[in-house]
Structure 1
Amino acid sequence: MTRFSHAWRALRHRNFQLFFFGQGISLIGTWITRIAATWLVYRLTHSALLLGIVGFCGQITSFLLGPLAGAWVERMPRRKLLLWTQAAAAVQSLSLAALTLSHRINLIEIIALSALQGVINAFDAPGRHSFLIQMVDDREDLGNAIALNSALANGARFIGPAFAGVLIAAVGEGWCFLIDGASYIAVIASLAMMQLRPMETHRARAGMLAQLREGWDFVRSSLPIRSVLLLFCVLSLMGYSFTVLLPIFAAQVLHGDARTLGWLSSASGAGALASAISLTLRKGIHGLPRALQIATTVLAGGLIALGFSHALWLSMALLTCVGFGMMQGATITNTIVQSLVPEDKRARVLSYYATAFFGAAPFGNLFAGALAHRIGAPHTVILCGACCLAAALWYTARLPQIQASLPAPAGDAHGSLSVSTSTAR
């Protein structure tokens, strides 16, 4: 019972409670839209290449704007920023709904609205991640808040796709977009209801370029942060691109429909949820570098095996493993980075975390779509899994140095979030 209570300790903070429940509703809507948009593109084009192109366009804008957005986010109140980004995301989803329900949607409009969502995410991601420290008054609970936030996102990832598959089959994609647009009301209301202590925003002592350089120098000089971000970049490039190919697996490999796509996505979400819950039980960052090594290996093995599967039950089981490894990688990387970065550089350094995902992922989507167009989706995920396995071997070779450069275990056991700036190569 004590261990269970420890896993939920960040929820004792009222502001985090509000965010947790408001964001939970919104994220379910977000996953409904992701599945509906992916199926809509497949229904209109039946092309793996175009699935990859849409995925690329939806995230390349986040890559281009990411570091600049991180420096800009530090100059303004986080809550105000998030209110604007959530409102803009609601407008984007409602626009998709209006075009789809009126039967006027086409590929160009999907690409344009996906690119707009990428712009919103470029500012929303560093703002949302760096806002956690304001919602959790006790800094010792920050790691638990990150893990709970991940559990929330992946609970939505488990529930949302299953709902989306049923809704698409019953009423079509347009209603999915409409539900998502309405779901943003919950998170906007939760942000408005928070009572936050005044927090000084980072005013520019130097120009924007100097701030960007300072954030990059910190990332480059910290061995743990540099190493986990490089690994995360490879995972984002090669390991996470399987999601853009799931409609191909659902329709062509497993001979199913939108409900099959929903089940496959939910299986991945179930593994990701299990991963996030397991991380809520941890009290510190020691042991996380080793867990990241295991997670990468699980992700790689699951992808390779998925390429050989032609049974729905087996594909779902393998995707559960893939989702577990994928989310362990993302959450552990986020936790290590957040635990080691000083407050005055938090948004800038987290923008590099967001860039590692939003930057590598679009190229991964484009690569996966183009390769699947030529050699098929199964062979593509096998190749992607092999690349992740190679990255795991590289990371394993550096693991002793990474663990040695972390703060002392004794301090971590008491929740210390000391900053490491090891320059070891």
Structure 2
Amino acid sequence: MFKALRSRNFKLFFYGQSVSVIGTWLQKTAVSWMVYSITGSVFLLGLTTFLSMIPSLFLAPLAGSIIGRYNRHKSMMILQSLAMLQAGALALLIYLKIYNITFILILSLIQGIINAFDMTCRQTMMVDIVDNKEDLPNAVALNSTLTNFARIAGPALAGIILHQYGEDICFIGNFLSYIPVLISLALMKIQPYTKATNKLRMLDDFIEGLDYVKKENQMAKMLLMLTCSSLFVISFNTLMPVFAKDIFNGNAQTFSWFESAAGIGSIISAIYLANLKSSSNIDNIMIGASILLGASIVILALSNSLALTLICMVLSGIGMMGQTSSINIYIQTKSTSHMRSRSISYYMMAYQGMIPVGSLIIGYISHSLGVRTTVAIQGVICLISVVVYLYYKNLKSTEELETCPVRYKN
């Protein structure tokens, strides 16, 4: 399970990130709870998520073109330093008790712009810091495991801190968590980078990347599946503060239970993926995970039991991580070296870029249909998307079979 840690650079990356991602979830949980507590608005709650993620939709293609041309190691250090400054500004704002929703929204947008480049750089850099390329799927899965362990520890810790000390400690904690990351990046020894000689042509690069994805038929179908899920399904998480506070009459700690439960499920899924000996069956894993995600969301929407709801959150975490990580692994392992950064940028567009649009739509629709009905519809959409995916997959297989020459035995 831990074979990718044999690579020194990946080990440094892994240990540095183990602190930083907990800080990220501290801040994310605190922002969600604080915005809803201050405003009582589901729309503003969705808008905050929207602004922190929407830049990926528009900037990911640019990020893919730029990251593929410059030193990814140095780019990562610059981006992490900028993220630390953003976290510090938010921490100072809350420490001074300036609960201005406009400032919070602006800082969320700045965070989203940084993340649009950071996430593309982080994923593309995997191939540079893993010595044995056969360990690349394991590295992707371990990174997902780490992220989702933080998804358990971060909200759980945030629930305690919010209840006992206040939100300013959460934001200060996130600011300080960037220090280990910058140290680990500084200690890495990356082979000299050969700078690209061709000029940056964003439109040409974008078209070339689209043509490549179209030719890689399986990759295109997976990205469409992820786009549908990010736009209409995964955004159900945006409504979890409403479930915690209004439906189950809970507090910040109750909300942290929901986040942690989903994190437990994600870790289970990531551990399973990390132990895969081969990525040849990754398509079937994606299909099974998508079915589990849709079914668990439907049950969650109908549940009146806190225990059952938490179980559904665990199952949704398994499904969500299984779906997104299996697609990520497929792209990382199947993309050619000169197209990897652009392929990953399309992954970031389909995943990170579409979630905020979905969050905004879901926040608006829930006003009209109610939270439970909205979440139930999201689960049904997920299941329908699996049916559509299987239909076109089988249709393609049938066409290939019909075009194959028939061989007769004597």
* TM bucket, shorter chain: over 0.9
1:125 paired with 2:119, answer yes
Equivalent residue for 2:70?
76
Counterpart of 1:26 (choices 20, 26, 29) is 20
Q: Distance in 1 between matches of 2:281 and 2:352?
A: 27
Contact 1:147 1:331 in 2 (8 A): yes
Q: Distance in 2 between matches of 1:402 and 1:49?
A: 41
CA 277–86 in structure 1, closer or farther in 2 if over 3 Å, else same: same
Counterpart of 1:293 (choices 251, 266, 287) is 287
TM-score (norm 2): 0.95
Counterpart of 2:357 (choices 363, 366, 374) is 363
Q: What is the Cα deviation at residue 373 of structure 1?
A: 1.9
After superposition, the CA RMSD in angstroms is 1.5
Equivalent residue for 2:403?
none
Q: What is the Cα deviation at residue 205 of structure 1?
A: 5.7
Show CA shifts across 1:190-226 (max 9, x none): 1110011123243326733222221111111111110
Q: What is the Cα deviation at residue 145 of structure 1?
A: 0.7
Equivalent residue for 2:221?
227
Equivalent residue for 2:263?
269
Tell me how many residue pairs correspond in the alignment.
399
Counterpart of 1:62 (choices 56, 59, 67) is 56
Show CA shifts across 1:322-380 (max 9, x none): 01100111100100011111111111110000011122111100011111222221111
1:350 paired with 2:344, answer yes
Equivalent residue for 2:327?
333
CA 51–206 in structure 1, closer or farther in 2 if over 3 Å, else same: closer
Counterpart of 2:178 (choices 177, 184, 188) is 184
Equivalent residue for 1:172?
166
* Counterpart code for 2:74: K
Q: Distance in 2 between matches of 1:291 and 1:207?
A: 37
Contact 1:289 1:399 in 2 (8 A): no
Q: Distance in 1 between matches of 2:398 and 2:92?
A: 55
Q: What is the Cα deviation at residue 399 of structure 1?
A: 3.4
* Counterpart code for 1:109: F
Contact 1:236 1:361 in 2 (8 A): yes
Gaps of 5+ in 1: 1-6, 406-425
1:11-410 equivalences under 5 Å are: 11-204=5-198, 207-400=201-394
Helix, strand or coil at the partner of 2:70: coil
Contact 1:224 1:402 in 2 (8 A): no
Higher alpha-carbon deviation: 102-111 or 12-21: 102-111
Q: What is the Cα deviation at residue 401 of structure 1?
A: 6.8
Contact 1:273 1:324 in 2 (8 A): yes
Identity %: 37
TM-score (norm 1): 0.91
Q: Distance in 2 between matches of 1:233 and 1:72?
A: 23
